[in-house]
Structure 1
Amino acid sequence: MKTFTKSLSCAMVGASLLLVSGAQAAQAPVYNLSNESVAEKLANLERVVNSRTRNQQRVQDQIDGMQSEISEIRGRIEEQNYQIEKILQRQRELLLAFDIQSQQLQEASELSNDELAKRSLVTGRATNTNAVAAGLPASNKAVSTVISSTPSVATGNDEAAYKAAVDLILKQRDTKAAIPALEEFVTTYPQSKFTSNAHYWLGQIFYNEQNWEQARVQFDTLYTQYPNSSKVPDATLKLGIIAKNLSDRVKAREYFESVVANHANTTSAKLAQEQINLL
């Protein structure tokens, strides 16, 4: 009996060993499959990373290309702005040249009138002197007529100073030097018959430089203090344009309508009406 029990125990132990060995043998392929799954995951991850890297590179290439195009466009814009500024500068120069030519004619006319006035004064004085010498009553008719028509005949000093300042514009085309010369003139000779013209010239220089505030001050001085000046229509027109450029359309309309109402049949009035139509 003991022998049978011992044999049975041995058999059971052997069977157990066989089962354990079989189980271990069966688990080995599972372990290999697990290793293959990790390898596949690593391979998939590598493919994903590579794909993203390629996509990022494509995006970066596109960004670089866009930046290059933007730089090229910016360069073209800067070149166009430069060309536009050259055109605007040329336009300002042409406008100034036109104004200069117009003013040259007017200045020549005014200076000629001054010379005629002086000659009339001299003639009148000579006539009176001769009459007194001959024992005849002196006549003040010629003198009074000239004085009433030209209440402020220029003296030699202010006329020379004004001509020197204007020559900087008309002959030398040196507007930078003309500014202090004209400013000194209006300060030194506030009562001169050329003072209104000096204010106009200052306003015109600042206007062509697009220095709107300084131009406004000069034209407004002419507009308010010298209402009988021949420059008032153009000065008023430009006050309107300045107000328009400063986005004050209400004030601009007031100036334009003033030109049309008070200076009809003038070039300034026609231009003012065109400006009104554009408001």
Structure 2
Amino acid sequence: MGTAFRLKTVAVAAFLAATAYLPLTAHAGLFDDEEARKAIMDIRSKIEALQRDVANKSDKNSALTLSDRNDNLQSQISALRGQIEVLTNEITNAQQRQKDFYVDLDARLRKLEPQQVTVDGQSAAVGIPEQQAYDAALSQFKGGDYKGAGNAFGDFIKRYPQSAYAASAQYWQGNSLYAQRDYKGAIAAQQNVVKSYPDNPKVADALLNIASSQAELKDKAAAKKTLEQLIAKYPGTPAAQTAKDRIASLK
């Protein structure tokens, strides 16, 4: 009876040790990788201990009882191995989610990186939102929405005053105002191009637009003076040739 009692005590202890880890399954999703790995190692240690108990408990006089206990312990070992599979799968899924997150983050950051573009013959770095804002405003102008385009170019200049597109935005804002017959506003916008960006290729066209606005305001003297200034400063440009033709019509 002493031997049977000791075996019973050992079996109960083994059973309690095994079942102590059963709640891990319910909480496996809450573990991080390191916690899951530690849990797996603990479970494996318990499996090894249970297997040693099964191997050591070989009492011939209690073969049937030990067989029942052996089946019970083997069942607990299988359950623990199942928990290891669950935790291993959680680790794999967590690693994949982390990898996918960083891949997606890298793709998003690349979309926000400035791109090298050529603006008015010069290479410049332009951010994606900046490029999109300029393109949207220019698309409005080309679509005939001159009021919307004028407002959009004005907003662009305020948001990106140092942009490589700043001179062009100012120029197209002047054209948008001219198209709305706001000739004074057009003159002011194009004068900003001439003063702020004297080396920009659009200055000659800005002067031509100023002369056209002055002519619309019936100020022929001012228009003629602007055209002469254009011809003198930018003699080889298409705008200068157009200026020569217009001077004749102002006489």
Q: Which has the higher contact order (CA 8 A, sep 6+)?
A: 2
Q: Which has the higher Rg, Structure 1 or Structure 2?
A: 1
More helix by share: 1
TM-score, length of structure 1 as denominator length: 0.44
